[in-house]
Amino acid sequence: MTLMREVLGEQYLQLEVESVLVEENVREQTTSVSCEVISSAGRSVIAGRGVGLVDALYAGVVARFAKEYPSLQTIRFDSFTIHGHLETKKGFAGTDAKAETTLQLANSEQRPFTFSASSRSVTASAILAILAAVAYFINSERAFTTLFHALKDAQARNRADLVQRYTNAMARLVQNTSYSEVIRKMRDELG
């Protein structure tokens, strides 16, 4: 993450939840979610449908961001858990204890990535973990794209020192996921 922050600077994306509306039909096993998100780009609504909160929100996130960040389509869930930390309870019943959602995702090379978030709301902890994961992969793709353009510029200026630096940084980012579609898209744009 340090590399992504260094490369992106002010353009580093953070997704924060303002509010969420969840509607679930238990009998039909369908869930609709509408999540108001704040980022450096402003407020936006992510909406999705699925067979539960996690499925619905992830479907909404992919629908919202995958066209601009195609690497999101190479990510899959390996597991997710929700754990109640009852030692954090304030009330006698313990229903107000913090819940921690942990997501294990895998990239196109089956490399695992773990994200977790805690909140006194199970819903909020799941949403926060999903958004943290999505922001990570978006920032990784943004950093890769930025470095790709910097590399092309360094090559045009015959700056071997920068070519080496940017190539090394890109090699680290490629471990996150496949950018083959991203590279194809950039080459098409460059002509």
Tell me, what's the pLDDT at 173?
85
d(CA 57, CA 131): 9
Neighbours of 97 (CB within 10 A): 17
Whether 191 shows a pLDDT value over 60: the answer reads: no
pLDDT in tens, 76-126: 999 999 999 999 999 998 899 999 999 999 988 889 999 999 999 999 999
Whether 178 shows a pLDDT value over 80: the answer reads: no
Tell me, what's the pLDDT at 183?
67
CATH class of 2-143: alpha beta
pLDDT in tens, 42-83: 899 999 999 999 999 999 999 999 999 988 988 999 999 999
Q: What pTM did the predictor assign?
A: 0.89
- What's the mean pLDDT in 130-159? 93
Q: In sequence order, which residues have a C-beta less than 8 Å from that of residue 37 and are 6 or more positions away?
A: 15, 16, 17, 18, 43, 44, 45, 46, 131
SS3 content of the chain, % helix, strand, coil (to 5): 50, 30, 25
Task: Tell me what percent of the residues of the chain surpass a pLDDT of 90.
Answer: 72
Residue 179, φ and ψ in degrees, nearest 5:
-115, 20
- What's the mean pLDDT in 17-34? 97
Annotated domain spans of the chain: 2-143, 144-183
Residue 44 vs residue 177, higher pLDDT: 44
3-state secondary structure of 36: strand
d(CA 135, CA 174): 16
Tell me, what's the pLDDT at 77?
94
Whether 184 shows a pLDDT value over 80: the answer reads: no
